[in-house]
Amino acid sequence: MTTADGAASGGQVRHLPPPPEQGFGVLDELAEAFERAAGSTRAVPPGGDPALLEAAAGYWERRGLATGPGHLAAAPGAGTFLLAFDALLGGDVLLPRPCPAHWAPQVRLLGRPVFPVPAPADSGGVPDPYALLETVRRLRAEGRDPRLLVLCPADDPTACVPPPELVHETLEAAAGEGLHIVSDETWRDTLHHPDETVFLSPAEMLPERVTVFADLSGAFLPPGWPAAVARFPATAEGAALRARTLDVLTALGARLTTPVAAAAAHALGESPPTTRRLLDSARLHGVVAAAAHRALGGAGVLARSPQSGRHLYADLAPLGGALERRGVGDSQELENVLGGLLGMPAPGGHRFGDDPAALRVRLSTGPLLGATEADRERALAAPDPLLLPSVQDRLDSFTRVFAALAADNGAAGEPAPPASSPAPPG
């Protein structure tokens, strides 16, 4: 029997971990756009105003997904969209395991179960296609009604960008089973090596079946300015879903504030300073993520190679002996103990729908950029940020924590194995 994932909910919704932050001040021209609109008494209509929707259309057109404003919508954060899609599309929801922390709780708020499908061991954000087929067929054999698959092709929490062939195979499986696909592309503009990493949006392959959304806190706006945009299929079904989504936004009063809408429109216009900040930020977080990944590997910790975002996903099972002596037996206890050792949040894998018994955590790179905003701004401009004392000190402290755990583990006759791909989640 296929069971819903009810145990790994990550606790109360209000205690979900926040997304990894950039760590920098607001770009001057974004602040100016915000301030110019702050005195306006005009309300932005549910779904966004024409300026924002035109900017969103240009954003997607530059990424090979040409569309008109009539197939777009804006909302105060991606969670609003996902909640609307879950409610409107109905049926059972399939999520990759692990997945962003807010996905499963939103489905459960509607009184519905979540059915996780494991991602491949060396990737994330997209489930294994064979596991997907098996799960869908078992659910239907049990009388259930799977309808919606949510993907994250630049992933939180794993920081992976799944290879195009995996995306292709998973989409073929989903389409063959008649699933509607929602693609969360919040992190697509944070690739560490955009000239080397191939990002494939599911909407490029199946434009008639895929709805895309992106939270602008991923690359463009600070988290205190909540804004997200969505792109619907250019079909009758897509138009109907957009219309019903606008009804939900209207009923909830879920509209962007006028200053945030203005800043979002400016950001999506991708002026040279905005683009430069985006690229510099992604490069910096990528350099620091790679250094952190090397430190984890040196201690025997298993971790996927980070390719996007401002985070890594680590499996500390090889250090289980040392952790057990510190009272750690599951990911909640690991979160508490490791967060204290590192002096920074280390949300456990259970918060991302992963197996609570597995010793996995998401680690953010933001705290490793320096203690102050001035430190982080210097790192942003530095040709080699790893040479800066402010970054070196933070990385050294990070490395010492895992080296001490590895030494303790080895001292107990449990030497850490060499780093390699993590075991399959779930």
Q: Which pLDDT does position 410 carry in this prediction?
A: 80
> Which tens digits make up the pLDDT trace of 153-202?
999 999 999 999 999 999 999 999 999 999 999 999 999 999 999 999 99
First to last CA, the chain: 16
Question: Residue 356 has what pLDDT?
Answer: 97
Closest of 257, 268, 188 to residue 224, by C-alpha: 257
The pTM of the full predicted model, rounded to 2 decimals, is 0.93
Q: Which residues of the chain have pLDDT under 50?
A: 6-11, 413-426
CB-based burial of residue 394 (10 Å sphere; 0-12 exposed, 13-18 middle, 19+ buried)?
buried
CB 30 within 8 A of CB 266: yes
Summarize pLDDT for 226-246 with one digit per residue, the tens: 999 999 999 999 999 999 999
Residue 127 has a pLDDT of 98
Domain(s) labelled CATH 3.40.640.10 in the chain stretch across: 20-270
What local confidence, expressed as pLDDT, does residue 110 receive?
Answer: 92
Tokens (6 digits) for 59:
């954003």
User: Residue 113 and residue 115: Cα distance in Å, rounded?
Assistant: 7
Quick one: pLDDT at residue 8?
40
- The rounded mean pLDDT for the chain is 93
For the chain, where do the domains classified as CATH 3.90.1150.10 start and end?
A: 273-411
Secondary structure string (H, E, C) spanning the chain: CCCCCCCCCCCCHHHCCCCCCCCCCCCHHHHHHHHHHHCCCCCCCCECCHHHHHHHHHHHHCCCCCCCHHHEEEECCHHHHHHHHHHHHCCEEEEEECCCCCHHHHHHHCCCCEEEEECCCCCCCCCCHHHHHHHHHHHHHCCCCEEEEEECCCCCCCCCCCCHHHHHHHHHHHHHCCCEEEEECCCHHHECCCCCCCCCCHHHHCCCCEEEEEECCCCCCCCCCCCEEEECCCCHHHHHHHHHHHHHHHHHCCCCCHHHHHHHHHHHCCCHHHHHHHHHHHHHHHHHHHHHHHHHHHCCCEECCCCECCEEEEECHHHHHHHHCCCCCCHHHHHHHHHHHHCCCCCEHHHHCCCCCCCEEEEECHHHHCCCHHHHHHHHHCCCHHHCHHHHHHHHHHHHHHHHHHHHHHHCCCCCCCCCCCCCCC
What is the pLDDT at residue 425? 41
Strand partners, 151: 183
CATH class of 273-411: alpha beta
The CA distance from 226 to 135, in Å, is 34
The CATH topology of domain 20-270 is: Aspartate Aminotransferase; domain 2 (3.40.640)
Rounded CA gap, 148 and 86, in Å? 8
Query: Under 8 Å CB-to-CB from 182, ≥6 apart: which residues?
Result: 82, 85, 148, 149, 150, 151, 210, 211, 212, 213
Per-residue confidence (pLDDT) for residue 3, from 0 to 100: 57
